[in-house]
Amino acid sequence: MKKRLLKYRIFAQKHLSLVKILALTFIIIMIFVDDNSFLQSFAYNRKIRQLKGDIEHYQHVIDESNRRLNELRSNSENLEKFAREQYLMKKPNEDIYIIEVEKNNNEQ
């Protein structure tokens, strides 16, 4: 039994030096455990790409809204048309009829 334990101890001393154990522990911590691990870094990068896409989308929405706002401010006919269509506004002597068309299940 002592001979067998001595054999394992010699093997461990040759192949599992303290430096290798520390390096392996450091690598495991950096990959899986740490707050700044590689896995967490990939998740952060994916979130950054998603947020940049959202920024681009909302920038297009802002640009389109600014274009429409400038159009409404520059032309009173467009402002009247917008008010009638979006807010169902009317002049005092007018009547407005809203016609809703139902879609059949066959027509899509």
- CB 30 within 8 Å of CB 37: yes
Per-residue pLDDT of the chain (108 residues), as tens digits, is: 777 777 777 777 777 677 777 888 888 887 777 777 788 888 899 999 999 999 999 999 999 999 988 988 888 888 888 888 788 777 788 777 778 888 876 655
Q: Structure pTM?
A: 0.51
Query: Structure tokens of 44?
Result: 């952060």
Query: Structure tokens of 28?
Result: 């495991």
